[in-house]
Chains A and B, each alone.
Chain A
Amino acid sequence: MVEYKIGTTLGGMTLLSSLATPVPWPRATFSMGERTTVASGAARDLGWMSAEWLFPLLTDAQRDQLRTFCTGASATVYIRTQDVDAVYRNYQAVLVWPDDEERRGGLVFDLRLRFRALVLQA
C-alpha cells in the first residue's frame, strides 16, 4: 500500500492523498549517502540519507499545498517514504524547495522535492 506522508511533526504526518488539497503520489527515490570505497575494498556509505519526491505534474493548488510545509528555501519536516529496500519508514528531514520551478498555465511540471539529512524515526 502506498504510504507517502508529510507533516511538520511526527505525529502530524498526513498521507499526501489526505491533505486538504490532495496531492498525487510522487516518484520517490532514496539514497543511503555517498558510497566510498576504502583501501581494503570495503564500501562505506557516508553522508546523510536523502530522498527525493518527483511530481511530474501538479496543479498550482497542489503545489501550494506542498509549499505550506516549506515556505522558505528549506524547512524541517517529517515524511514517510520508501527506503532502498522499498520499506516505508518515518524520517525527520530537511525539505529543500527547488529554486527552479517550471510553471505554465496553472500547472507545475516536474516539481522535485529533495529531502536531506534524513533521520530515521522510531
Chain B
Amino acid sequence: MTRAITSDELNKIRGRQWTRWYAIVDAPNTIYSATASGSINKADWTIPFSGGSGTLSDCLADMTLLIGSSAGGWDRGVARLRKSPIAGTFYIGADDSLRCYSGDYLTVINDFAPSARHPVGESMDVDVAYVDQFSAFAPTPVMGERVAVIQAGQTIGFDASASWVIGSSISGYAWQFPGASNTSGTTTATPTATYNSSGRYRVQLTVTAANGRSSVGYGWVYVIGASLQPEANILVDKLEGDADRGWSCRVRMLDRPTIRDRARIVLYAEDYYGDEKISLGPSAGRENLLMIGWIIGETITRRPGSEWVEFDAGGPGGILSSLASLPAGLTDKRFPTDEAATLPPWARVQGLTISKGLHYLLHYRSTLPVVMDVEVEDWNWAAHKLTANADDLWGQLRDFAESGLLACLCDRYGHLYIQRDAALYPLTQRSNIPVVMTLSDADWHDDLSVRRRQMGDAALVELEGYVYANRKAIPTGGRSPGDQPASFGDVEGRSEIAWPNQTTALECAGLMAGALNAEYESITATLPANNRFIDVAPRQYLTVTVDGDAIRCIPRRVIYYRDEDGIPATTVDMEAEGGQWPAKAIEYPNESTPPIENPPTPPTPPPPPPGNPPPPEAPGTGNAVVVVVGDVRTTADLSATNPTWATETPPASGIVDSALDGTTLYLLYENGLWKGEDILATGAPSWTQVLSSGSYPDLASLKFLRVVATSVHGLIYVLGANGADAWFFRSASGGAAWSEPELIAAGAIPTSSQEYSYDGNCSLVSSYYATTPEAPLSPGGHPVNGPRATLLTANEMFAQAWAIYDIGRPLTLSSLTWWWHADGDDIVEISADGSNWTRIWYSRYSWASNIVEVRTQTFTPQTVRYVKFLVERVVGVGNRIDLAWFYFDGGPVYPTAIDAARTNPGWIYVGTQSKIFKSENGGFDWITLLSDRGANDIHVDPQLAGAVYAWDSNGNLVLIVAGVVTSVLDTETPTRKPLRLARDLNSGRLWALKGGTTLRMRNLATWTDQKTGLVGGRGLHAYLGQKLIFLDANNIWVSDDGGTTVTGKKGGWTGYASPINGHRMP
C-alpha cells in the first residue's frame, strides 16, 4: 500500500514527535493435541494418532503441527497439515526431515506458516492430482493487510478488493471474524470487525471466483489488553528494508524466552506527534504497524551474569529465501518440445503466461496465498516455458517473475508485490506511480548525499528472450543504445525473457539503459522524522530537488531508527528515475526457429513427404458398414438384393461421425471416440473408448465434431470445438496415444445465437402428405434462407399429415419457433434419435377458426436432432396445413468440414462457418487458407494434396488449388451438412450429394444427375472403380458404376433411420 502524504500528515511529520516500539512474538493457542500412535507413513505422508484433546474439525488445512517428545514440543519437527485430518490420521506435507515416534506429542496450533508444497510423483503436495487447476484458476485472496494491532473496543477494517483471479472475476467474499464483538459487511470486500476483548484473533476470508473456484486466506488481529501484552524486555532499534528482499530487523530480548522457531513477529509503534498520540502510515487501520515478519535467525549471547538472545526477523523475502523448494518448470501445452507429450499434467499449462506461472508457484508450490497478501501485476506475456532452478521459494518466484521483467517486492506489512519495477515502467504510464512526497529542506538534516555519475554504468544493455506465438518461440531481443556500446560502463544483460513483442523488447532495453545511466546514481537522505510512508514496495516515487531540478526517485533502501529516547529517524537510499535510451532489435541470423533447448519438432509421426499415394483400400464386393445415430450394422452381403445387416451394438446412441480404417471402425460422439476392431467378426466388437473430452479439462465444454481416418493405419484426426475455438486432435497409434490438442483457430466459431431454418440447415427426412418446396409463405423479415413452405394437404376427412426434419446434428435446445397455417389438431414433437419423441405442442383444432400463427414454444433444455410437425384430423378434403418455416436458437455453428490428403496425411483442411484453414505438418501449425468463405464439407483430391473441393458457405461447390478458388463447379442453397463429396482415386470423377437430394457426378466438366429424390443424403464415399455408397433418410444406396445404377440396400434392416455414415469395406 502506498499513497501520497497529505499536507496535514506532512505537518505532523515535520513537527515535534517521538515513538516507542513494541513487539509481539506470536504465540498461537493450541487447537488440538494428541499422541502419535505410530511413525510417519511416508507412502501417504500421514501420522496416526490416538487420544486427542480439542475439536478435530477445528484443524484446518495448512495449519501448523508441532511434533515433540514432550507436550507442546516441536523437537521432532514442525509439520504442515496439508489437509484437514480425519479421526486418527493427520495428513502432513512431505518432509523427510520430520521424525515422529509412537508416543510423541502432536500439537496443532492456531497458525499458518509460509511453506513450500512439493511435487510427489505426478501429484502435488502428496496427493493433489491435476484436474482443471490450469483452466479454472483459483482466486488469490488479498485482505488489504493480513495483520492489525488494535486496542480493545476498536474496530478494524479489511479491504479485499485487490483479490485477483486469472481468466475470471471475483464473485464473492465470505469473511469470518471469530471472537469479534461486532461485524459488518462480511460478504463484501470491505468488512469491519470490532473487538471488545484483548487477545489474538484469526480472520478468515474465502474468495470465490465466477469460475466456481475459491481460496481461503487468513489474517490476524492482535487486540492489546489484559490478555495480550507486547513482549517485555525487548529492544529493537532499527528496521531495514531493501528492494531485493524486503524488510528485516534484529530483535534483542534480554532474557531467554521460549519462542517457537520461525514464529511470526509483529512490530508496532506508539507514536506521538506534538502531544497527540496518533500513528501515521499509508494503510488505514495499520498506521501503527512497523513490520510483519518471521523469525529466521537466532544468536544467543552469554556474558557473566547476563545473557540475551537476538532474533533476526525477515518479511516474506527473508522467510521465503529460507524455504527449500524442488525445481519448478512449466511448459505451454502447445509448445512442441519432444518432452511435451510426456510431461505430467502439473507441468503443462494451456496458454502459459508469466502470471499463470506465478499462480502455480503461489497456489500449488507454496502456501503463500493462505498466509500473506500477494499481488501479481499481469502484463499477460505469453511464455513457451518457465523454469525456476533456484532451490528456494523466493528464488523461484524471482526466476519466474524475471521472465516477465517483473520484480518481487515486499513492503513492511508482509505484502508481496510481483510487479514491474519503477525503473522499467513505461515512460508514458509513470504518472500512475504515486509520489509519496517531495523532500524539501524541511525534511532532512545532516548531509544530503547525491552521487552523480561521471560515467555510465551500462555501455550496452542486451535483453534477450523469445516471443512465443503460434507454437513457436522466436528469438527476440533489444540492444540499447544500439550495436555500438556507449563509451563507459559494462555490458548488462538478461536472457530468457518472454516478450510479448519486439517493440516491448526495445522499450525495456532502452528503459534499463536509461536507468543504469541516469545522471544521478543515488541520493541518500536522513530524515529526522518518524516517516513510515516511505517504503521499498509497492512501486512509488519520492521527489528530490537537485541543482534546481525536481527528480523523481525510487526508494531502494529504507531504514527506520529509534533510540532509547524515542527519537525517530528515517534514512532513504534512492535511485534517480532514468529515461529511455534508444534501442535496436537484436538480429538472430539464420535463426528461423528459436535456439532453444528443445526445438519444436512435432511429435510422432512426422508427416510423410508428398509422393505416391497410399492406395485406398479397394472395397471388396460384399462388405459394408453403416452407421446411424443409434446403431451400427455390417453386412457381408452387399451385393444381395436384400442384404442382411448384423447389428454391432454401439456403446451408446448419439453417434455424430464415423471413420473406417481397414476393419477398425471409429465412432465419434460429442464427448468421445470409441474404437471397434475387426468389425466384421461375428458378434459385436468390443468397443474401447480411445478419446474423451473429459481428458481435456482445460478445454471446457469441448465437443468432438468429425473424425477422419486417412487410410494410413492408425492415423486418426478428430475435429473439435471448445466455445469459439476450433481444435484438432491427432493420434498416430489408433487412439492409443494422442498428441496435445492443437488450436486450429481461436474465435473461429461464432458463439452468438445462430438461427437454423428447416430449408437452410435441416433436411426433410420423412413426410406423409407433404411436399416441398411450395409457394413462399413466410411473412418475411425473418432470417431464413429463402422462404419455402411445406404443404400438407389432406385428401380425406380426419387425415394425418406430417413432416420430419433432421437438423443434422444433436443440439441442446430449449425453444422452437414456427409459423404455420393449420386446419387440424396441431402437434409438434422433438427427438434426439428420430425414434423417441417428446411432444412440445398440441392444439386441438377449432371449427371456428383457422390457426395462423407464429408460435414460440419453450421446453426443458434437451438434446434435439429431429423435429416433427404433425397434423391429425385435418378437417375436410382439400384443407391444408402450410408450414412456412421453423427456426431455433441452435447456439454456435460448429465446423463440420475436415479432410486430409491421402497422398500426404500431413496436409489437412478444416472449414468453419467463415474461414477455411490448412495445416501442412500434421495439424501442428494452421494457417488461414481462405478468409472470404467457410466450408461445410471438404474433400481433398485423392491425388493432389493441394487441391480441395468444398461446399462453401457462399453456396458454391468450389475447387481450391493452392489456396485459390479456381472454379465454381456447382451451386446450392447453403447448408451445413458434411459428407456429401467424394472422388475416387483414378477416375477423375467427382460425386456430390447436392442439397442432400440428388447424387450428381461430374465428369469432363459436365454434371450428370445420377440419382434424384433423395432425402437428406449424406455419407457419400467413392472407391476405386467408381464404387459408391451413400445414405439418405430412407435407404442405403450403393452403386458399382459411379451412380449410373443405384440400388437401395437397406434390405431387412427395419427401423433404419437417422443416417450418419456408410463405408464399403475390403
User: Contacting A33 at CB < 8 Å: which of B18, B445, B529?
Assistant: B18
Assess the A117–B566 pair: CB atoms within 8 A: yes
Assess the A34–B445 pair: CB atoms within 8 A: no
A-chain residues with CB within 8 Å of residue B228 when the two chains form the complex: none
- B20 part of interface (Cβ distance < 8 Å): yes
* B546 vs chain A, min Cβ distance (A): 13
Assess the B445–A117 pair: CB atoms within 8 A: no
User: Contacting A47 at CB < 8 Å: which of B440, B443, B444, B563?
Assistant: B563
Q: Which residue of A lies closest to B446 (CB)?
A: A39
- B1004 part of interface (Cβ distance < 8 Å): no
Q: Which residue of A lies closest to B566 (CB)?
A: A48
- B96 part of interface (Cβ distance < 8 Å): no
**A-side interface mostly:** strand
- B567 part of interface (Cβ distance < 8 Å): yes
User: Contacting B445 at CB < 8 Å: which of A37, A45, A120?
Assistant: A37
Assess the A47–B441 pair: CB atoms within 8 A: no
CA distance A44 to B17 in the complex (A): 9
User: Contacting B528 at CB < 8 Å: which of A46, A50, A116, A119?
Assistant: A46
Assess the A33–B565 pair: CB atoms within 8 A: yes
Assess the A38–B443 pair: CB atoms within 8 A: yes
CA distance A39 to B446 in the complex (A): 7
Given contacts A36-B528, A120-B275, contact A46 B16 (CB under 8 A): yes
Chain B window 262-283, contacts with chain A (Cβ cutoff 8 Å), 1 for yes, 0 for no: 0000000000100101000000
Assess the B565–A116 pair: CB atoms within 8 A: yes
* Range, interface on chain B: 20 to 34
User: Contacting B272 at CB < 8 Å: which of A37, A42, A116, A119?
Assistant: A119
CA distance A49 to B273 in the complex (A): 12
The listed residue with most B CB atoms (<10 A of its CB), out of A36, A37, A41, A50, is: A36
Assess the B275–A46 pair: CB atoms within 8 A: no
Assess the A47–B275 pair: CB atoms within 8 A: no
- A40 part of interface (Cβ distance < 8 Å): yes
Assess the B442–A40 pair: CB atoms within 8 A: yes
* A83 vs chain B, min Cβ distance (A): 10
CA distance A8 to B431 in the complex (A): 54
A-chain residues with CB within 8 Å of residue B565 when the two chains form the complex: 33-34, 47-48, 50, 116
- B344 part of interface (Cβ distance < 8 Å): no
Assess the B567–A33 pair: CB atoms within 8 A: yes
Assess the A39–B528 pair: CB atoms within 8 A: no
CA distance A32 to B569 in the complex (A): 17
* A53 vs chain B, min Cβ distance (A): 18
Assess the A46–B442 pair: CB atoms within 8 A: no
CA distance A46 to B566 in the complex (A): 8
Assess the B444–A48 pair: CB atoms within 8 A: no
B-chain residues with CB within 8 Å of residue A50 when the two chains form the complex: 565
The listed residue with most A CB atoms (<10 A of its CB), out of B15, B440, B442, B566, is: B566
Given contacts A32-B16, A38-B442, A40-B441, contact A46 B568 (CB under 8 A): yes
Q: Which residue of B lies closest to A42 (CB)?
A: B442
A-chain residues with CB within 8 Å of residue B445 when the two chains form the complex: 36-39
Q: Which residue of B lies closest to A40 (CB)?
A: B441
CA distance A46 to B20 in the complex (A): 12
* B614 vs chain A, min Cβ distance (A): 87
Assess the A39–B566 pair: CB atoms within 8 A: no
A-chain residues with CB within 8 Å of residue B275 when the two chains form the complex: 119-120
Assess the A44–B528 pair: CB atoms within 8 A: yes
A-chain residues with CB within 8 Å of residue B442 when the two chains form the complex: 38-40, 42
A-chain residues with CB within 8 Å of residue B563 when the two chains form the complex: 47
Assess the B440–A40 pair: CB atoms within 8 A: yes
CA distance A12 to B865 in the complex (A): 91
CA distance A119 to B14 in the complex (A): 19
* A91 vs chain B, min Cβ distance (A): 10
- B448 part of interface (Cβ distance < 8 Å): yes
The listed residue with most B CB atoms (<10 A of its CB), out of A33, A39, A49, A116, is: A39
B-chain residues with CB within 8 Å of residue A34 when the two chains form the complex: 565, 567
Q: Which residue of B lies closest to A49 (CB)?
A: B18
Given contacts A47-B566, A119-B277, contact A39 B272 (CB under 8 A): no
Interface residues of B in 432-478 (CB under 8 A from A): 440-445, 448
CA distance A38 to B568 in the complex (A): 14
* B203 vs chain A, min Cβ distance (A): 31
The listed residue with most A CB atoms (<10 A of its CB), out of B18, B275, B443, B528, is: B18
CA distance A121 to B47 in the complex (A): 57
A-chain residues with CB within 8 Å of residue B529 when the two chains form the complex: 44, 46
Q: Which residue of B lies closest to A41 (CB)?
A: B441
Given contacts A46-B568, A48-B566, contact A117 B20 (CB under 8 A): yes
Chain A window 94-120, contacts with chain B (Cβ cutoff 8 Å), 1 for yes, 0 for no: 000000000000000000000011011
Interface residues of A in 45-60 (CB under 8 A from B): 45-50
Assess the B18–A48 pair: CB atoms within 8 A: yes
* A96 vs chain B, min Cβ distance (A): 10
The listed residue with most A CB atoms (<10 A of its CB), out of B16, B277, B568, is: B16
* A92 vs chain B, min Cβ distance (A): 10
A-chain residues with CB within 8 Å of residue B443 when the two chains form the complex: 38-39
Q: Which residue of A lies closest to B439 (CB)?
A: A39
Interface residues of B in 136-164 (CB under 8 A from A): none
Assess the B441–A48 pair: CB atoms within 8 A: no
Chain B window 8-26, contacts with chain A (Cβ cutoff 8 Å), 1 for yes, 0 for no: 0000001111101000000
CA distance A47 to B563 in the complex (A): 8
The listed residue with most A CB atoms (<10 A of its CB), out of B528, B529, B565, is: B565
CA distance A48 to B20 in the complex (A): 9
CA distance A50 to B15 in the complex (A): 17
CA distance A34 to B18 in the complex (A): 10
Assess the B16–A39 pair: CB atoms within 8 A: no
Q: Which residue of B lies closest to A46 (CB)?
A: B567
CA distance A84 to B442 in the complex (A): 25
User: Contacting A39 at CB < 8 Å: which of B20, B277, B441?
Assistant: B441
CA distance A51 to B52 in the complex (A): 56
The listed residue with most B CB atoms (<10 A of its CB), out of A46, A49, A50, A120, is: A46
B-chain residues with CB within 8 Å of residue A32 when the two chains form the complex: 16
CA distance A99 to B565 in the complex (A): 18
CA distance A29 to B563 in the complex (A): 21
* B365 vs chain A, min Cβ distance (A): 46
Assess the A48–B568 pair: CB atoms within 8 A: no
Chain B window 572-611, contacts with chain A (Cβ cutoff 8 Å), 1 for yes, 0 for no: 0000000000000000000000000000000000000000
Q: Which residue of A lies closest to B448 (CB)?
A: A39
Q: Which residue of B lies closest to A50 (CB)?
A: B565
Given contacts A33-B567, A116-B565, A117-B566, contact A39 B17 (CB under 8 A): no
Interface residues of B in 1-52 (CB under 8 A from A): 14-18, 20
Q: Which residue of A lies closest to B20 (CB)?
A: A117
CA distance A41 to B20 in the complex (A): 27
Given contacts A38-B444, A39-B444, A39-B445, contact A44 B14 (CB under 8 A): yes
CA distance A120 to B18 in the complex (A): 13
CA distance A61 to B68 in the complex (A): 53
The listed residue with most B CB atoms (<10 A of its CB), out of A41, A48, A116, is: A48
B-chain residues with CB within 8 Å of residue A116 when the two chains form the complex: 565-566
Q: Which residue of B lies closest to A94 (CB)?
A: B20
* A94 vs chain B, min Cβ distance (A): 9
* B238 vs chain A, min Cβ distance (A): 16
B-chain residues with CB within 8 Å of residue A38 when the two chains form the complex: 441-445, 528
Interface residues of B in 483-539 (CB under 8 A from A): 528-529
B-chain residues with CB within 8 Å of residue A47 when the two chains form the complex: 18, 563, 565-567
B-chain residues with CB within 8 Å of residue A117 when the two chains form the complex: 18, 20, 566
A-chain residues with CB within 8 Å of residue B272 when the two chains form the complex: 48, 119
Q: Which residue of B lies closest to A36 (CB)?
A: B528
- Closest 6 CB pairs between A and B? A47-B567, A40-B441, A39-B441, A48-B566, A47-B565, A48-B18
Q: What would 10 A/B residue contacts be, using CB atoms closer than 8 Å?
A: A33-B16, A33-B566, A33-B567, A34-B565, A36-B528, A39-B445, A46-B16, A47-B565, A119-B275, A119-B277
Given contacts A32-B16, A116-B565, A119-B272, 15 further A-B contacts (CB under 8 A): A38-B528, A39-B443, A42-B14, A42-B442, A44-B528, A45-B16, A46-B16, A46-B18, A46-B528, A46-B529, A47-B563, A50-B565, A116-B566, A117-B18, A120-B275
